[in-house]
Amino acid sequence: MNNDKPRKYSHKIVDGNAQAPSRSMLRAVGFDDADFKKSQVGIASTWSMVTPCNMHINKLAEAVGQGVDSAGAKSVIYNTITISDGISMGTEGMKYSLVSREVICDSIEAVSACMGHDAIIAIGGCDKNMPGCLMGLARLNRPSIFVYGGTILPGENHTDIVSVFEAVGRYASGDIPITQLDHIEKTAIPGPGSCGGMYTANTLASAIEALGMSLPNSSAQNAVSAQKIQDCINAGQAIVHLLEHDIKPSDIMTKKAFENAITLIITLGGSTNAVLHLIAMADTIGVKVTLDDFVRIGDKTPVIADLRPSGQYLMSELIAIGGIQPLMKRLLNAGMLHGDCMTVTGKTMAENLANVVDYPAGQSIILPLDKPIKKDSHLVILHGNLAPEGAVSKITGKEGLSFTGTAKVFDSEEQGYAAIIEGQVVAGDVVVIRYEGPRGGPGMREMLSPTSAIMGKGLGNDVALITDGRFSGGSRGFVVGHITPEAHEGGPIGLVENGDSITIDAQTREMTLHVSAEEMAKRRSNWQMPAPKYTRGLLAKYAKTVSSASTGAVTDKI
User: 349-386, pLDDT tens digit by residue?
Assistant: 999 999 999 999 999 999 999 999 999 999 999 999 99
CA distance 474 to 497: 29
DSSP structure class, residue 426: -
Which distant-in-sequence residues (6+ apart) come within 8 Å of 117 by Cβ?
9, 10, 40, 41, 42, 76, 111, 142
Angle at 547 between CA 546 and CA 553, to 5 degrees: 80
What pLDDT, in 10s, does the model give residues 6-19?
899 999 999 999 99
- Distance, C-alpha 209 to centroid of its chain: 13
Contacts of 260 (CB under 8 A, 6+ apart): 210, 211, 212, 337, 338, 341, 349
CA distance 117 to 11: 9
| Average pLDDT of span 20-49 | 98
pLDDT mean across residues, the chain: 96
Half-sphere exposure (Cβ direction) of 362: Cα atoms closer than 13 Å: 0
Coil, helix or strand for 478?
Answer: strand
Helix axis angle for 255-267 and 200-211, nearest 10°, is: 140
- Amino acid, res. 420: I
Per-residue confidence (pLDDT) for residue 488, from 0 to 100:
97
Q: Could you confirm whether 402 is annotated as catalytic?
A: no
CA distance 126 to 194: 6
What pLDDT, in 10s, does the model give residues 154-207? 999 999 999 999 999 999 999 999 999 999 999 999 999 999 999 999 999 999
Q: pLDDT tens-digit profile of 77-88? A: 999 999 999 999
Model confidence pTM above 0.95: yes
Long-range pairs for 2-6: beta carbons < 8 A, 24 or more residues apart: 2/244, 3/37, 3/38, 3/39, 5/244, 5/246, 6/39, 6/73, 6/118, 6/119, 6/240, 6/243, 6/244
Radius of gyration of the chain (CA): 23
Q: What is the mean pLDDT of residues 141-145?
A: 98
Q: Give the Cα-Cα-Cα angle 219, 222, 223 (nearest 5 degrees).
A: 95
DSSP 369: T
DSSP notation for 125-165: -STTHHHHHHHHHHHHTSSEEEEE--BPPPBGGGB-HHHHH
**Active-site pick, 45, 219, 452, 472:** 472
Q: Tell me what percent of the chain is helix, strand and coil, each rounded to the nearest 5.
A: 40, 15, 45
> Has residue 508 got a pLDDT over 60?
yes
Q: Which helix (H) or strand (E) holds 209?
A: helix 200-211
pLDDT of residue 4: 53
The residue type found at 31 is F
Class for domain 379-551, per CATH?
alpha beta
Report pLDDT digits (tens) over 521-557.
999 999 999 999 999 999 999 999 999 999 999 999 8
Helix 291-298 / helix 273-285 crossing angle, nearest 10 deg = 120
The CATH 3.50.30.80 portion of the chain extends over 379-551
474: pLDDT confidence band, cut at 50, 70 and 90? confident
At residue 2, the pLDDT reads 44
- pLDDT value at position 5? 58
